[in-house]
Amino acid sequence: MELLNNLGIGFATALSLTNILYCFFGVLLGTLIGVLPGLGAVATIAMLLPATFALPPVSALIMLAGIYYGAQYGGSTTAILVNLPGESSSVVTALDGYQMARKGRAGAALTTAAIGSFVAGSLATLLIAMFAAPLAEMALAFGPPEYFSLMVLGLVASVVLAHGSLLKAIAMILVGLLIGLVGTDVSSGFQRFTFEVPEFEEGLSFVAVAMGLFGLGEIVRNLEHERHATGVPQIHRIGRLMPTCEEIRRMIAPIFRGTTLGSLLGILPGGGAMLASFAAYSLEKKLSRTPGEFGCGAIEGVAGPESANNAGAQTSFIPMLTLGIPSNAVMALMAGAMILHGIQPGPTVMTEQPALFWGMITSMWIGNVMLVILNLPLVGLWVRLLTVPYHYLFPVIVVICAIGAFSVSNSVIDIHLMALFGLLGYLFYKLDCEAAPLLLGFILGPMMEEYLRRAMLLSRGDFSVFVTRPISALLLALAAITLALVVLPAFRKTREEAFQDED
């Protein structure tokens, strides 16, 4: 009953005309910047933050939240259509989504992403409304050793991301770890491989690295084909926009599995939301009877991760709203926005500002409805983009990418960096090395190190903390099992067979 009561307060706030308008404005803007490669929610919210000064706090937060999950929606569009993941969570969407697009199933991929995101968003919102406070308490049981073990599991599982040579995948993870070393070491404050470039002190920009490796690399590769073949590189047949019955049947289970995984990982304040899409992809590939299809346009590889990242984006509000702890850069900005309006984010928000708290939560669901209404008709329009001749399309993409890379921290170096990684991306393609494991190593490496050393500092150098703490021990055991599955001959055989099928 209390829940209904709370939701009542929420809907009363969120359904006021002003708030509906701001919610719509937020998701619309979010979708747009999500579609533009590299322009992310962080930069947009940062730019809009001062403008929200004049708004009532609820409207401001509803709009900013709308931008955030709207961008998650829009981000998958570019990942699917042109292989450009602008956010870490859409990297895996690009893997199979782009392959679907190349096979003329772009419409189906986009629709899958939209439906998956909607279902995930709605369920996660319900989850926040029902269990926000106890879930946040649960997340506190995760200390440095648990996070470290979680990352180990993530990294081991990332081998699954590769669908070619295992050795090359491991090599790429290691390259990613090395690239991740650049920057200030959190534990000692020393700088590593920064070459006295102040911009490198915070590490290399994810947007620059990801867009270079995936997006620009792909562009170079397409242009190469263009010269060989006719004037147009690949004629993407548009095909049916809606998924077939078979495809709908195949996406249902992954959507629910992705939602569960994403909701759980999203609550963890240490970058769990980011892991969600990777984890969902690995899970789907493991469960699939045809793992060989992954990487060549498996619809499960779009449905699972897309649901997971949207659910994760939604539940990452939990630590911020209930504990006052921002779990990622966007949440830090949201917390900043609350402070700007004189509201200290934290456990008191729920009791002292019930209209604001529940208004924001219900607005997320309303926003998700708007996103589906907004996006499904647009699918046709986005897909039509692919019919634009490539030699007109690619300069536009390159320019937007450059703007996106620049906008993250207003630094020109990031544009150069993106160009460099573009060349590397092309080189990796030629060498048959996949960029996804590299990117995961790049993201997880620095975090793993940070948590490992923090755990070691706190335990005074005693390694046994990783196995004496139950959650950590469980995660490490899972990692060991995964590793064994990869290394053991029996499994390797089936894995290789799976890949032979595809050839």
Partner 1 sequence: MPRFLTRTLASLIAATCLTGTAIADTYPSKPITLLVGYTPGGSVDLVARTVAEELGKRLGQPVVVENAAGAAGTIGAAKAVRAAPDGYTLLLGSGSEISIARLTSPSVKYDGQKDLQPITLVGTQSMVLVGANNVAARNTDELLAYARANPDKLSFASSGVGTPLHLSGELIKQQAKINMEHVPYKGAGPMLTDLLGGQIPLAVLVLSSALPHIKTGKIKVFGVTEAHRAAALPDVPTLAESKGLDGVDMGVWFGLFAPAKTPEAITARLDKEMAEVLKQPAVRDKLTESGLALAGLGPKDFAAFIGKETAKYQKIIQTANIRTD
**Angle in degrees, CA 135, 140, 143, rounded to 5:** 140
Please report whether residue 56 would count as binding partner 1 according to CB under 8 A.
no
Residue 335 as a binder of partner 1 (CB under 8 A): the answer is yes
Q: Does 53 bind partner 1 (CB under 8 A)?
A: yes
The footprint of partner 1 on residues 480-499 (CB under 8 A) is none
Please select the residue that binds partner 1; options are 84, 325, 440, 498, rule is CB under 8 A.
Answer: 325
| 169 and 443 Cβ atoms separated by less than 8 Å | no
10 Å Cβ neighbour count for 43?
Answer: 21
What does the block give as tokens for 303? Answer: 């449905």
Nearer to partner 1, 434 or 450 (CB): 450
Site for partner 1 in 381-410 (CB under 8 A): 409-410
Quickly tell me which residue has 């046994």 as its tokens: 464
Name 44's Cβ contacts closer than 8 Å, sequence gap at least 6: 29, 30, 33, 67, 71
Nearer to partner 1, 253 or 471 (CB): 471
Nearer to partner 1, 134 or 377 (CB): 134
For the chain, the residue count is 503
What is the footprint of partner 1 within residues 412-451 (CB under 8 A)? 450
- Name the H helices within 341-469: 348-352, 354-385, 390-409, 413-430, 435-459, 465-468
- From candidates 32, 347, 483, 485, binder to partner 1 by CB under 8 A: 347
**CA–CA–CA angle 305, 213, 331 (5° rounding):** 50
Q: Looking at 45-53, 96-104, 361-369, 371-379, which segment touches partner 1 (CB under 8 A)?
A: 45-53
CB neighbours (10 Å) of residue 308?
Answer: 37
**Considering only residues 447-476, where is the footprint of partner 1 by CB under 8 A?**
450, 454, 457-458, 460
Q: Which is nearer to partner 1, 44 or 282 (CB)?
A: 44
For the chain, the first-to-last Cα distance in angstroms comes to: 57
**Binding segment for partner 1 among 22-30, 82-90, 249-257, 332-340 (CB under 8 A)?**
332-340
- Residue 374, SS3? helix
State residue 494 phi and psi, 5-degree precision.
Answer: -65, -35
CA dihedral 494→497→498→503, nearest 10 degrees, is 170
178 binds partner 1 (CB under 8 A): no
Does position 239 interact with partner 1 (CB under 8 A)? The reply is no
Q: Which is nearer to partner 1, 44 or 368 (CB)?
A: 44
Tokens 């002292």 correspond to what residue?
Answer: 352
Q: How far is CA 481 from the centre of its chain?
A: 26
Q: Which residue stretch of 28-36, 142-150, 170-178, 307-315 sits at the interface with partner 1 (rule: CB under 8 A)?
A: 142-150
Interaction between residue 198 and partner 1 (CB under 8 A)? yes
Residue 502 binds partner 1 (CB under 8 A): no
β-strand pairing of 191-192 with 183-184: antiparallel
Q: In the window 301-320, what residues touch partner 1 (CB under 8 A)?
A: 319
Residue 135 contacts partner 1 per CB under 8 A? no
- Measured between alpha carbons, how far is residue 389 from residues 154, 279, 392 in Å? 39, 36, 6
Q: Distance of CA 270 to CAs 193, 340, 450, Å? A: 25, 24, 11
Q: How many residues lie near partner 1 (CB under 8 A)?
A: 53
Contact between 133 and partner 1 per CB under 8 A: no
By CB under 8 A, residue 40 contacts partner 1: no
Work out whether 140 is an interface residue with partner 1 (CB under 8 A): yes
The residues that touch partner 1, with contacts defined as CB under 8 A, are 45-46, 49-50, 53, 139-144, 184, 186-191, 196, 198-199, 201-202, 269-270, 319, 323-327, 329, 332-337, 339-340, 342, 344-348, 409-410, 450, 454, 457-458, 460
